[in-house]
Copies of this chain bind each other. A is one copy, B any other.
Amino acid sequence: MDKYKQLKEEAYLANLEIPKQGLAIYTWGNVSAYDEKLGVFAIKPSGVSYDKLQVNDMVIVDLNGDKVEGKLNPSSDTQTHLELYKNFDSIGGICHTHSPYATAWAQAMKSIPLLGTTHADHLANPIICTKPLSKEQVENGYEKNTGILIYETFKNPTLGQEILNVGPYPKSPLIAKENPMVLVGGHGPFSWGKDAITSVYNARVLEEVAKMAMWVNNLNPNFNQLPQHIIKKHYERKHGKNAYYGQK
């Protein structure tokens, strides 16, 4: 009996959702699924294309970063996933892609301003873009430091990139559970959620929001942030304590 069977299946199905949602070509994305009780996560093997991927190709890694099960090498981004699981509360899945609109924002080194209810339905803050990693951060554990950079920037958002056209980033820390996505400057998007499939859902949300925001900038370079009372309303009708969106 395989105690990781369910976790591998969850990771496997979520990885297949990446090409289905058009979030990456070839092998340019990976998802992991985390089991807090077992203290391990299942992650896509490195460089395997989605159409050849099998459930049992998933690699099981523990919180020391050691491989617990699996024949293949885990994703080269494994250390980034690990750091996020260790430092962010209540996360059960992480997704990384190179989806084109979100990646363009990351390469442009700009945080995505909050311009509409599509964005506010999912998070109540701009989508932060980190600074690019320094030479030292790259040379001494690049992937691990990518994870550290993300949560350091969440703790102190003023370390992040300017929000396009709207000004510097706010000073209060961001809560990972309520802000399930980030851009790494010069690289691309990472997203997360209560489980693996939700992390891919959030990757798709990010791509759609990134696309809309780019077009807004084309249509009206003098745009403003969505008024705060609308942000609050949309976020809370889906995620607040009196949320009334969806079914109970």
Specify which of A101, A212, A247 lies most central, judged by the most chain B CB atoms within 10 Å of its CB: A212
Given contacts A118-B188, A142-B233, contact A212 B107 (CB under 8 A): yes
Given contacts A229-B139, A245-B47, contact A219 B104 (CB under 8 A): yes
CB <8 Å contact, A212 and B100 = yes
Which residue from B133, B218, B229 sits with its C-beta under 8 Å from A230?
B133
Point out residues on A near B: beta carbons under 8 Å: 25-26, 28, 45-48, 72-73, 76, 98, 100-101, 103-110, 115-118, 132-135, 138-139, 142, 164, 186-188, 201, 204, 208, 211-220, 223-224, 226-227, 229-230, 233, 237, 244-248
Instruction: Give the number of times this chain occurs in the complex, counting copies.
Output: 4
Given contacts A109-B220, A218-B214, A230-B138, contact A73 B246 (CB under 8 A): yes
CB <8 Å contact, B214 and A117 = no
Expressed in whole angstroms, the Cα–Cα distance for A138 and B120 within the complex equals 14
Q: List 29 A-B residue pairs with CB atoms under 8 Å apart, sorted by A's residue number.
A: A28-B118, A45-B247, A46-B245, A73-B244, A73-B246, A73-B248, A76-B237, A100-B208, A104-B219, A105-B219, A107-B115, A107-B212, A107-B216, A108-B215, A108-B216, A108-B223, A110-B219, A110-B220, A115-B186, A116-B186, A117-B186, A117-B188, A133-B229, A134-B229, A139-B229, A164-B219, A164-B220, A186-B230, A214-B219
